[in-house]
Homo-oligomer: A and B are copies of this chain.
Amino acid sequence: MPLSRIYKLHLSPDRKYVKALKNLLGFVPGNLSLYKMAFRHRSIALGIKRGGKNSNERLEFLGDAILGAVVAEVLFKMYPYKEEGFLTEMRSKIVSRVNLNQLGKKLGFNELIEFDPTTVNITSKQSSLLGDAFEALIGAVYLDKGYNFTKDFLIQRIIKPHIDIHTLEQTETNFKSKLIEWCQRHSKDIVFELVPNQEGDNAKLFSIQVLIDNEPMATGIDFNKKSAEKLAAEKTCELLAI
């Protein structure tokens, strides 16, 4: 065991943190400050000098790209006979904020993320803190250890044990949640509004229109409100190419 490793794990003032990271990652981190940054939310970073730059947002940008590349390759090789559209759809399912948030929760990120609880609610369904930190962590691993290491780490430690690709393949896309999630990510208001039926006065039909930031999007018409909403959401997703 090299000396630096012994120091990090047993002597350094950060040894508890290093051990927690080792349990999470399966390896002893090299540059600890990268990992600390990956778990530092903007809400707490703003209190620090040059805070914006010290939050995990830049690492999240990098990690999102690295994760996208690794998942693209995994799918490319896993499905040699599927076309590009299928691969794109599968990748969105895997890297969806909902999925990454769940992953962050499962991996115990709650204990690691530094954030300001007076401004951010980590348990809220709207929160993407966990998923964002997951991507930032990938960015940190990449800068610390390089692409091939990060790819192996993602495949062996994350994808194989935690992501059931074949089940995701079967999952029918829920367009309403997809749309709502998209609006949350882009800070847009979304309303499903019951509008007068444009197909004449067939009282049995419901027309639901999606409004995003008060701009009318697609309309769905069906015999019950739920199906009309679903249809309106699907059409809006298509319109926005989400």
Contacts and interface: CB of A to CB of B under 8 A. Distances in A.
Kindly name the residue among A60, A65, A81, A186 whose own CB sees the greatest number of chain B CB atoms within 10 A. Answer: A65
Copies in the complex: 2
A65 B72 contact: yes
A141 B146 CA distance: 18
A203 B85 CA distance: 48
B60 A69 contact: no
A76 B66 CA distance: 12
A70 to B, nearest CB: 8
Interface string A213-242: 101111000000000000000000001110
Interface residues of A, number: 41
Given A58-B83, A62-B76, A84-B61, A239 B216 contact: no
6 closest A-B pairs by beta carbon, nearest first, are A65-B72, A69-B69, A57-B84, A147-B147, A65-B69, A186-B241
Interface of A: 52-53, 57-58, 60-62, 64-66, 68-69, 71-73, 76, 80-84, 87-88, 139, 142, 146-148, 151, 182, 186, 188, 212-213, 215-218, 239-241
20 contacts: A53-B81, A57-B84, A58-B76, A58-B87, A60-B84, A61-B76, A62-B72, A65-B69, A65-B71, A65-B73, A66-B72, A76-B139, A147-B147, A148-B148, A212-B239, A215-B216, A215-B239, A216-B216, A240-B240, A240-B241
